[in-house]
Amino acid sequence: MKNIAVFASGRGTNFKAIAQAIKRGKLKVNLALLVCDNPKAAVLDKAKKLGVKACLIQREGFAQKKDFEDEIIKHLKNNKVELVVMAGFMRMLSPHFVAAYKNRIINIHPALLPSFKGSRAIKDAFDYGAKVSGVTVHFVDEAMDHGPIILQEEVALGESSTLKALEEKIHKVEHKLYPQAIKLITQGRVKLRGRRVIITGR
């Protein structure tokens, strides 16, 4: 059974969805570690309630970003983490970190990449008047919201949709799609060919 670590800075709704998928037996991995950089994050309480080991590492405690990331890497190695799952971790990883876990870091984005990159993707799609948005799970590379796409699912905005309603639709899809992607990767069914992701056994 593979060890995974979830990185989160906020509410931890995707963290909870992943933990619940494991508990229900839908996802056969070991959630070895939560990595958090925000002492006020609600995800820390969720980890405690779910019995998941949590590691709080604050950027402010390190002179250089590399030192901060090296501390995280040390904890990942100590816990034999094989896959890093970004779930609302509000920091860009450096090329140094990405290289250390090349093709073993994934992220979830609340839009259909390459459209609406960045931290305000749901609002940006809503304000733009897009008819369709969605969710993307992708590998992390050195650029923001740029790595090869693993899974995507569309979400229709609807002409009368509110921003809150769209957020709820997006989060519902996220909580389904992320465990699916983790399952495919940890089963060895995801192959990379340049920017193309091939999923085997379908």
How would you classify the pairing of strands 3-7 and 83-86?
Answer: parallel
CB-facing half-sphere around the CA of 25: CA atoms within 13 A: 0
| Cβ proximity of 59 and 91 under 8 Å | yes
Q: Which of 62, 71, 63 is nearest to 96 (CA)?
A: 71
Judge whether 138 counts as a catalytic residue: no
Q: Which of 75, 109, 138, 146 is catalytic?
A: 109
Q: Which residues participate in catalysis according to the annotation?
A: 109
